[in-house]
Structure 1
């Protein structure tokens, strides 16, 4: 789920930020953090959480025409990425006839299809926020906390800045953990 990975980026420092060594280092670090936050995530690493360590900086190259200096920076970054077959706890966001969506950290679009929850049946409510999935002893509705297994992981969508993930409730120890009232499934 959380990993620390090594990354490399080109970082541009504007001419007005050039000065003493300390001023230039601060400007480079600010720009690196801003660029990594703006990127949000990548297919290879998942969601970028935080830059932790700068490991090395190449000698800067002056960009002709602008006077900016471009550095190649090696750094470590904490990332968050779901992996196939990983079991996670997630909050139900919405329910419908085909299944339900859950949110787990920055992953707001994990979908559990009706075929991936054996024994559950759909119970429509008077409006979508009251729709439920029920089995013999559990009820799944918006705000329920469920334990799911990651089944499939899609590639990074840079426009929407997210991944699409499919999950399953089929398996041991998967299903409702807590509903929105805080009642455990075991109560």
Structure 2
């Protein structure tokens, strides 16, 4: 899921950061690039931007609509969800249809009930899924799951520039993860 990507972006630079000769300080370009990457958050072909690792080149500046832009080529580390990969997420909500997980920068990971073989819903004040072997899936639990499907959302309602993930527990070694020092009894 972690990738190294080559990207380019037309970075707006404030006029006060450009000297009389049209030169701009590298620190100013880097600061503006980081602000742009933070606002952009993710791109369909690259994934979620985690870090800028290298500034490769800075092009000549040009003026457009009263602002000055510089084309910046850079390398960055990204988090790109891909079908079939295994990930670990934290359960953030449970309803009768499945569980909602968060994984790294991804806020929209859905694990439907029909993709949890052997688990059934125990409804009540604190709903959770219970398996035949008594393992549980409840809020705050860490789950190892497989990416079943990925969809890029540019903008729908309140969701903007996000990947929507459909997850599955079908396969070996998938399901709730018990952590050392947890509340479980040891025999």
Q: Paired residue for 1:170?
A: 170
Q: How does 1:1-187 map to 2 (within 5 A)?
A: 1-19=1-19, 24-61=25-62, 63=63, 66=66, 68-126=67-125, 130-137=126-133, 138-158=135-155, 160-161=159-160, 162-178=162-178, 182-183=182-183
Which runs of structure 1 show a deviation greater than 4 angstroms over 4 or more consecutive aligned residues?
20-23, 183-187
Q: Distance in 2 between the 1:96 and 1:15 partners?
A: 52
Which runs of no fewer than 5 residues in structure 1 stay unpaired?
A: none
Which runs of no fewer than 5 residues in structure 2 stay unpaired?
A: none
Aligned partner of residue 60 in structure 2, secondary structure: coil
**Number of positions where the alignment pairs a residue of Structure 1 with one of Structure 2:** 182
Q: Distance in 2 between the 1:134 and 1:123 partners?
A: 7
Q: CA RMSD in A?
A: 2.5
Q: Distance in 1 between the 2:142 and 2:102 partners?
A: 10
TM-score using structure 1 length: 0.87
Q: Distance in 2 between the 1:184 and 1:8 partners?
A: 49
TM-score using structure 2 length: 0.87
